Amino acid sequence: MNFLSRIERIDELIRSGATGNAAALASRLNVSKRTVFNDLKWMREKGAPIFYSTHYNGYRYGKEVVFVVAFVSPDIRNVMEYM
């Protein structure tokens, strides 16, 4: 599974409440816990409000967000930078 596919899968699992802890998530993705931590860090750096919930024993979003990967024209990018 490539990087973007893994990020999309993590997003799906967070939305469905099925991540479990880091070890469980790593097992689901067939990667190491370190890779999971690195991916979550990358997602947070891009604005994902991810936190670990001990109540749900898994990762959650702190507010509703949408993960989008897209190529955009410079004009659209400039508009998005001002949002």
As a whole number, mean pLDDT of residues 45-54 equals 96
pTM of the prediction? 0.83
CA terminus-to-terminus distance, the chain: 32
Half-sphere exposure of 9 (CA within 13 A, CB side): 15
**Residue 14: left (phi > 0), alpha (psi -120 to 50), or beta?**
alpha
Residue 34 amino acid letter: R
What per-residue confidence (pLDDT) applies to 82? 64
pLDDT (tens digit, 9 = 90+) per residue, 28-42? 999 999 999 999 999
Q: What is the rounded distance in angstroms from the CA atom of residue 32 to the CA atom of residue 26?
A: 5
Q: What domains are there in the chain, each with its CATH number?
A: 3-61 (1.10.10.10)
Q: Helices marked H in 1-83 — which ranges?
A: 3-16, 22-29, 33-45, 74-81
Residue 53 confidence class, pLDDT cut points 50, 70, 90: very high
pLDDT at 16 > cutoff 70: yes
What per-residue confidence (pLDDT) applies to 5? 94
